[in-house]
Amino acid sequence: MEIFLSDVWDDASCSHVNTTHPSASPFCRLSVVCSLAYTLESGTQLHRTEHLAFGIPVITTLHRPSAHQLTSTSTTTMKIANRTFIISGGASGLGLATARDLHSHGAYVSLLDLNSDAGSSIVAELGPTRARFFQVDVSSTTSIATAIAGTVSWVRETGKEIGGVVAGAGVGMPGMMIDKKNEPLAIESIDFVLGINLRGTLDLIRQALPHMTTNTPEGVDGERGVVVMVASSAAFDGQMGQVAYAASKGAVAALTLPLARDLSRVGIRAVTIAPALFESNMTKMMSGRVRQSLENAMEFPKRAGQPEEFARTVRDSVENTMLNGTVIRLDGAMRMPARL
Protein backbone atom coordinates (compact mmCIF):
# COMPACT_ATOMS: atom_id res chain seq x y z
CA MET A 1 0.00 0.00 0.00
CA GLU A 2 1.37 3.45 -0.92
CA ILE A 3 0.57 6.26 1.49
CA PHE A 4 1.19 9.82 0.31
CA LEU A 5 1.73 12.59 2.85
CA SER A 6 -1.09 14.57 1.29
CA ASP A 7 -3.41 11.74 2.31
CA VAL A 8 -2.55 12.23 5.99
CA TRP A 9 -2.96 15.96 6.42
CA ASP A 10 -3.82 19.07 4.48
CA ASP A 11 -2.81 22.70 4.93
CA ALA A 12 -5.61 23.26 7.44
CA SER A 13 -4.39 20.39 9.61
CA CYS A 14 -0.85 21.73 9.82
CA SER A 15 -2.19 25.21 10.46
CA HIS A 16 -4.09 23.73 13.39
CA VAL A 17 -0.86 22.27 14.75
CA ASN A 18 1.06 25.50 14.25
CA THR A 19 -1.62 27.40 16.16
CA THR A 20 -2.30 25.06 19.04
CA HIS A 21 1.11 23.40 19.39
CA PRO A 22 3.71 25.91 18.14
CA SER A 23 6.58 24.13 19.85
CA ALA A 24 5.68 20.87 18.14
CA SER A 25 5.20 22.17 14.61
CA PRO A 26 8.78 21.42 13.44
CA PHE A 27 8.11 17.77 14.27
CA CYS A 28 4.51 17.69 13.08
CA ARG A 29 4.97 15.78 9.89
CA LEU A 30 7.61 13.42 11.21
CA SER A 31 5.38 12.46 14.14
CA VAL A 32 2.41 11.85 11.90
CA VAL A 33 4.36 9.70 9.48
CA CYS A 34 5.94 7.64 12.25
CA SER A 35 2.59 7.12 13.96
CA LEU A 36 0.96 6.19 10.70
CA ALA A 37 3.71 3.69 9.91
CA TYR A 38 3.30 2.09 13.34
CA THR A 39 -0.46 1.92 12.96
CA LEU A 40 -0.23 0.29 9.54
CA GLU A 41 2.37 -2.18 10.79
CA SER A 42 0.12 -3.21 13.65
CA GLY A 43 -2.78 -3.71 11.27
CA THR A 44 -5.05 -1.24 13.06
CA GLN A 45 -7.93 0.17 11.06
CA LEU A 46 -8.20 3.94 10.95
CA HIS A 47 -11.42 5.91 10.80
CA ARG A 48 -12.41 9.55 10.62
CA THR A 49 -12.87 9.87 14.42
CA GLU A 50 -9.38 8.56 15.26
CA HIS A 51 -6.30 10.79 15.52
CA LEU A 52 -2.62 10.04 15.27
CA ALA A 53 -0.92 13.11 16.74
CA PHE A 54 -1.64 16.71 17.62
CA GLY A 55 -5.30 16.34 16.75
CA ILE A 56 -4.66 15.71 13.05
CA PRO A 57 -7.47 13.64 11.50
CA VAL A 58 -6.61 10.66 9.35
CA ILE A 59 -8.28 9.99 6.00
CA THR A 60 -11.43 7.93 6.05
CA THR A 61 -11.41 4.21 5.10
CA LEU A 62 -7.66 3.69 5.39
CA HIS A 63 -7.30 0.07 6.45
CA ARG A 64 -5.31 -3.06 5.81
CA PRO A 65 -7.16 -5.56 3.57
CA SER A 66 -8.08 -8.76 5.31
CA ALA A 67 -6.72 -12.13 4.21
CA HIS A 68 -10.17 -12.93 2.87
CA GLN A 69 -10.18 -9.81 0.74
CA LEU A 70 -6.77 -10.60 -0.73
CA THR A 71 -7.61 -14.20 -1.57
CA SER A 72 -11.12 -13.73 -2.82
CA THR A 73 -11.33 -15.03 -6.39
CA SER A 74 -14.07 -12.53 -7.09
CA THR A 75 -11.71 -9.59 -6.59
CA THR A 76 -8.13 -10.63 -7.32
CA THR A 77 -8.44 -13.30 -10.02
CA MET A 78 -8.93 -12.38 -13.64
CA LYS A 79 -12.06 -14.02 -15.00
CA ILE A 80 -11.88 -16.50 -17.88
CA ALA A 81 -15.57 -17.29 -18.26
CA ASN A 82 -17.51 -15.09 -20.66
CA ARG A 83 -14.42 -13.41 -22.05
CA THR A 84 -12.93 -13.83 -25.51
CA PHE A 85 -9.37 -15.08 -25.98
CA ILE A 86 -7.46 -14.81 -29.26
CA ILE A 87 -5.11 -17.77 -29.74
CA SER A 88 -2.68 -17.92 -32.65
CA GLY A 89 -1.53 -21.40 -33.55
CA GLY A 90 -4.81 -22.47 -32.01
CA ALA A 91 -5.60 -25.37 -34.32
CA SER A 92 -2.83 -27.72 -33.21
CA GLY A 93 -0.35 -28.59 -30.49
CA LEU A 94 0.06 -26.28 -27.53
CA GLY A 95 -2.31 -23.68 -28.96
CA LEU A 96 -5.07 -26.23 -29.40
CA ALA A 97 -4.62 -27.54 -25.86
CA THR A 98 -4.84 -23.95 -24.62
CA ALA A 99 -8.02 -23.33 -26.60
CA ARG A 100 -9.65 -26.46 -25.21
CA ASP A 101 -8.65 -25.63 -21.65
CA LEU A 102 -9.86 -22.02 -21.70
CA HIS A 103 -13.05 -23.07 -23.49
CA SER A 104 -13.70 -25.70 -20.81
CA HIS A 105 -13.57 -22.88 -18.25
CA GLY A 106 -16.22 -20.84 -20.01
CA ALA A 107 -14.13 -18.76 -22.41
CA TYR A 108 -14.98 -17.75 -25.94
CA VAL A 109 -12.03 -18.64 -28.18
CA SER A 110 -10.97 -17.05 -31.46
CA LEU A 111 -8.59 -19.49 -33.15
CA LEU A 112 -6.03 -18.17 -35.62
CA ASP A 113 -4.12 -20.69 -37.71
CA LEU A 114 -2.94 -21.39 -41.23
CA ASN A 115 -4.53 -24.86 -41.34
CA SER A 116 -8.16 -24.24 -42.26
CA ASP A 117 -9.18 -27.92 -42.17
CA ALA A 118 -7.89 -28.34 -38.62
CA GLY A 119 -9.44 -25.04 -37.58
CA SER A 120 -12.86 -25.95 -38.90
CA SER A 121 -12.64 -29.32 -37.18
CA ILE A 122 -11.86 -27.70 -33.82
CA VAL A 123 -14.80 -25.31 -34.11
CA ALA A 124 -17.05 -28.29 -34.83
CA GLU A 125 -15.64 -30.01 -31.73
CA LEU A 126 -16.05 -27.03 -29.40
CA GLY A 127 -19.26 -25.75 -30.93
CA PRO A 128 -19.80 -22.51 -32.88
CA THR A 129 -21.43 -20.71 -29.96
CA ARG A 130 -18.14 -20.06 -28.18
CA ALA A 131 -15.54 -20.76 -30.87
CA ARG A 132 -14.54 -19.12 -34.14
CA PHE A 133 -11.75 -19.89 -36.60
CA PHE A 134 -9.87 -17.46 -38.82
CA GLN A 135 -7.29 -18.60 -41.34
CA VAL A 136 -4.22 -16.47 -40.68
CA ASP A 137 -0.64 -16.14 -41.79
CA VAL A 138 0.90 -14.35 -38.81
CA SER A 139 3.77 -13.08 -40.94
CA SER A 140 1.20 -10.96 -42.82
CA THR A 141 -0.10 -7.78 -41.21
CA THR A 142 -3.13 -7.80 -43.50
CA SER A 143 -3.98 -11.38 -42.61
CA ILE A 144 -3.84 -10.61 -38.90
CA ALA A 145 -5.92 -7.46 -39.38
CA THR A 146 -8.65 -9.46 -41.11
CA ALA A 147 -8.77 -11.95 -38.23
CA ILE A 148 -8.84 -9.20 -35.61
CA ALA A 149 -11.67 -7.45 -37.45
CA GLY A 150 -13.60 -10.71 -37.60
CA THR A 151 -13.04 -11.34 -33.91
CA VAL A 152 -14.13 -7.82 -32.98
CA SER A 153 -17.28 -8.25 -35.05
CA TRP A 154 -18.00 -11.50 -33.21
CA VAL A 155 -17.38 -9.79 -29.86
CA ARG A 156 -19.96 -7.15 -30.75
CA GLU A 157 -22.48 -9.94 -31.32
CA THR A 158 -21.72 -11.81 -28.09
CA GLY A 159 -20.85 -8.89 -25.84
CA LYS A 160 -17.87 -10.89 -24.52
CA GLU A 161 -14.83 -8.59 -24.35
CA ILE A 162 -11.39 -9.65 -25.53
CA GLY A 163 -9.77 -10.64 -22.25
CA GLY A 164 -6.50 -11.96 -23.59
CA VAL A 165 -4.19 -12.83 -26.45
CA VAL A 166 -2.15 -16.03 -26.54
CA ALA A 167 0.53 -15.65 -29.21
CA GLY A 168 1.31 -19.30 -29.79
CA ALA A 169 2.10 -19.54 -33.51
CA GLY A 170 5.69 -20.57 -34.11
CA VAL A 171 8.08 -22.48 -36.37
CA GLY A 172 11.48 -24.07 -36.06
CA MET A 173 13.95 -24.33 -38.94
CA PRO A 174 17.36 -25.72 -37.99
CA GLY A 175 20.40 -24.45 -39.81
CA MET A 176 24.05 -23.78 -39.00
CA MET A 177 25.22 -20.21 -39.39
CA ILE A 178 28.01 -21.58 -41.56
CA ASP A 179 27.75 -25.14 -42.89
CA LYS A 180 30.38 -27.72 -43.78
CA LYS A 181 30.49 -26.39 -47.33
CA ASN A 182 31.35 -22.93 -45.95
CA GLU A 183 27.93 -21.64 -47.00
CA PRO A 184 26.22 -19.14 -44.68
CA LEU A 185 22.72 -19.62 -43.39
CA ALA A 186 20.26 -18.35 -45.98
CA ILE A 187 18.80 -14.99 -45.07
CA GLU A 188 15.44 -16.29 -46.29
CA SER A 189 15.51 -18.90 -43.53
CA ILE A 190 16.30 -16.26 -40.93
CA ASP A 191 13.53 -13.99 -42.21
CA PHE A 192 11.04 -16.86 -42.19
CA VAL A 193 11.70 -17.82 -38.57
CA LEU A 194 11.86 -14.25 -37.27
CA GLY A 195 8.82 -13.29 -39.34
CA ILE A 196 6.59 -15.82 -37.62
CA ASN A 197 8.08 -16.21 -34.15
CA LEU A 198 8.94 -12.57 -33.43
CA ARG A 199 7.29 -10.23 -35.91
CA GLY A 200 4.10 -12.29 -35.96
CA THR A 201 3.93 -12.22 -32.16
CA LEU A 202 4.40 -8.46 -31.94
CA ASP A 203 2.05 -7.74 -34.83
CA LEU A 204 -0.77 -9.80 -33.35
CA ILE A 205 -0.37 -8.16 -29.96
CA ARG A 206 -0.21 -4.59 -31.26
CA GLN A 207 -3.32 -5.07 -33.40
CA ALA A 208 -5.32 -6.66 -30.59
CA LEU A 209 -4.41 -4.18 -27.85
CA PRO A 210 -6.62 -1.25 -28.96
CA HIS A 211 -9.62 -3.56 -28.53
CA MET A 212 -8.54 -4.52 -25.00
CA THR A 213 -7.71 -1.10 -23.57
CA THR A 214 -11.39 -0.12 -23.81
CA ASN A 215 -12.48 -3.06 -21.65
CA THR A 216 -14.31 -2.44 -18.41
CA PRO A 217 -11.72 -2.71 -15.57
CA GLU A 218 -12.16 -5.90 -13.54
CA GLY A 219 -11.72 -6.53 -9.81
CA VAL A 220 -9.86 -4.54 -7.19
CA ASP A 221 -6.86 -4.14 -9.49
CA GLY A 222 -8.82 -2.75 -12.41
CA GLU A 223 -7.39 -5.31 -14.82
CA ARG A 224 -8.38 -5.19 -18.48
CA GLY A 225 -6.62 -8.23 -19.87
CA VAL A 226 -3.47 -10.25 -20.35
CA VAL A 227 -1.01 -11.07 -23.13
CA VAL A 228 0.62 -14.51 -23.02
CA MET A 229 3.56 -15.16 -25.33
CA VAL A 230 5.49 -18.34 -26.06
CA ALA A 231 9.28 -18.46 -25.98
CA SER A 232 11.37 -21.61 -25.61
CA SER A 233 14.20 -23.08 -23.57
CA ALA A 234 16.25 -22.26 -26.68
CA ALA A 235 15.92 -18.61 -25.66
CA PHE A 236 18.36 -19.35 -22.83
CA ASP A 237 20.45 -22.33 -23.96
CA GLY A 238 20.00 -22.80 -27.68
CA GLN A 239 21.75 -25.64 -29.41
CA MET A 240 23.95 -25.72 -32.47
CA GLY A 241 21.83 -25.05 -35.54
CA GLN A 242 19.32 -22.95 -33.58
CA VAL A 243 20.70 -19.45 -34.15
CA ALA A 244 17.60 -18.11 -35.92
CA TYR A 245 15.17 -19.94 -33.65
CA ALA A 246 17.01 -18.95 -30.46
CA ALA A 247 17.18 -15.34 -31.66
CA SER A 248 13.43 -15.25 -32.23
CA LYS A 249 12.53 -16.84 -28.91
CA GLY A 250 15.17 -14.91 -26.99
CA ALA A 251 13.68 -11.71 -28.33
CA VAL A 252 10.22 -12.71 -27.12
CA ALA A 253 11.63 -13.41 -23.66
CA ALA A 254 13.49 -10.09 -23.67
CA LEU A 255 10.48 -7.99 -24.64
CA THR A 256 8.27 -9.39 -21.87
CA LEU A 257 9.25 -6.92 -19.16
CA PRO A 258 9.23 -3.76 -21.30
CA LEU A 259 5.88 -4.81 -22.75
CA ALA A 260 4.48 -5.26 -19.23
CA ARG A 261 5.77 -1.82 -18.34
CA ASP A 262 4.22 -0.30 -21.46
CA LEU A 263 0.85 -1.85 -20.64
CA SER A 264 0.80 -1.23 -16.90
CA ARG A 265 -1.00 2.10 -17.18
CA VAL A 266 -3.91 0.45 -19.01
CA GLY A 267 -4.22 -2.53 -16.67
CA ILE A 268 -2.98 -5.22 -19.06
CA ARG A 269 -0.34 -7.78 -18.08
CA ALA A 270 2.31 -9.53 -20.18
CA VAL A 271 3.62 -13.02 -19.42
CA THR A 272 5.83 -15.38 -21.42
CA ILE A 273 6.03 -19.16 -21.09
CA ALA A 274 9.25 -20.87 -22.21
CA PRO A 275 8.60 -24.60 -22.67
CA ALA A 276 11.31 -27.17 -23.28
CA LEU A 277 10.43 -30.53 -24.83
CA PHE A 278 6.65 -30.78 -25.26
CA GLU A 279 4.49 -33.02 -27.39
CA SER A 280 3.72 -30.95 -30.49
CA ASN A 281 3.92 -30.97 -34.26
CA MET A 282 7.61 -30.09 -33.95
CA THR A 283 8.44 -33.05 -31.71
CA LYS A 284 6.52 -35.39 -34.02
CA MET A 285 9.08 -34.61 -36.73
CA MET A 286 12.03 -35.60 -34.51
CA SER A 287 13.88 -38.85 -34.97
CA GLY A 288 13.75 -41.37 -32.15
CA ARG A 289 17.42 -40.74 -31.34
CA VAL A 290 16.98 -36.98 -31.06
CA ARG A 291 13.87 -37.32 -28.93
CA GLN A 292 15.55 -39.78 -26.56
CA SER A 293 18.55 -37.48 -26.18
CA LEU A 294 16.29 -34.59 -25.27
CA GLU A 295 14.33 -36.65 -22.75
CA ASN A 296 17.62 -37.75 -21.17
CA ALA A 297 18.47 -34.07 -20.67
CA MET A 298 15.32 -33.61 -18.56
CA GLU A 299 16.09 -33.71 -14.85
CA PHE A 300 12.59 -34.62 -13.66
CA PRO A 301 10.26 -35.80 -14.96
CA LYS A 302 12.22 -37.57 -17.70
CA ARG A 303 9.62 -37.20 -20.41
CA ALA A 304 8.20 -34.70 -22.82
CA GLY A 305 5.65 -32.32 -21.39
CA GLN A 306 2.02 -32.79 -22.31
CA PRO A 307 0.09 -30.03 -24.11
CA GLU A 308 -2.43 -30.03 -21.26
CA GLU A 309 0.36 -29.12 -18.82
CA PHE A 310 1.28 -26.15 -20.97
CA ALA A 311 -2.38 -25.14 -21.19
CA ARG A 312 -2.72 -25.17 -17.40
CA THR A 313 0.23 -22.79 -17.17
CA VAL A 314 -1.48 -20.45 -19.62
CA ARG A 315 -4.62 -20.57 -17.48
CA ASP A 316 -2.59 -19.84 -14.35
CA SER A 317 -0.99 -16.90 -16.17
CA VAL A 318 -4.41 -15.56 -17.04
CA GLU A 319 -5.91 -15.97 -13.58
CA ASN A 320 -2.98 -14.95 -11.38
CA THR A 321 -2.76 -11.17 -11.56
CA MET A 322 0.64 -11.13 -9.84
CA LEU A 323 2.19 -12.88 -12.83
CA ASN A 324 3.42 -9.98 -14.92
CA GLY A 325 6.57 -9.07 -16.81
CA THR A 326 8.06 -12.49 -16.21
CA VAL A 327 9.18 -15.53 -18.20
CA ILE A 328 8.06 -18.89 -16.82
CA ARG A 329 10.45 -21.72 -17.64
CA LEU A 330 8.32 -24.83 -18.13
CA ASP A 331 11.12 -27.31 -18.63
CA GLY A 332 11.48 -29.93 -15.89
CA ALA A 333 14.84 -28.34 -14.96
CA MET A 334 16.14 -29.16 -18.43
CA ARG A 335 19.21 -27.34 -19.72
CA MET A 336 19.83 -28.02 -23.37
CA PRO A 337 23.22 -29.49 -24.32
CA ALA A 338 25.20 -27.79 -27.09
CA ARG A 339 24.52 -30.72 -29.37
CA LEU A 340 22.57 -33.97 -29.25
Residues 286-331: tens digit of each pLDDT: 777 877 888 888 889 988 889 999 999 999 999 999 999 999 999 9
**pLDDT cut 90: percent of the chain above it:** 65
pLDDT band for position 340 (cuts 50, 70, 90): low
Superfamily of domain 73-330: NAD(P)-binding Rossmann-like Domain (3.40.50.720)
Active site residues: 245
Name the least confident of 65-69, 109-113, 134-138, 233-237. 65-69
Q: What is the DSSP string of 46-106?
A: --TT-BSSTTPBPPTT--PPPHHHHH-HHHHB---TT-EEEEETTTSHHHHHHHHHHHHTT
pLDDT band for position 229 (cuts 50, 70, 90): very high
- Work out whether the CA dihedral 259, 260, 265, 269 comes out positive or negative: positive
Residues 15-50: tens digit of each pLDDT: 444 444 444 444 444 444 444 444 444 444 444 334
**Domain boundaries of the chain, sorted by first residue:** 5-64, 73-330
Phi and psi at 161, nearest 5°, equal -60, 155
pTM above 0.85, yes or no: no
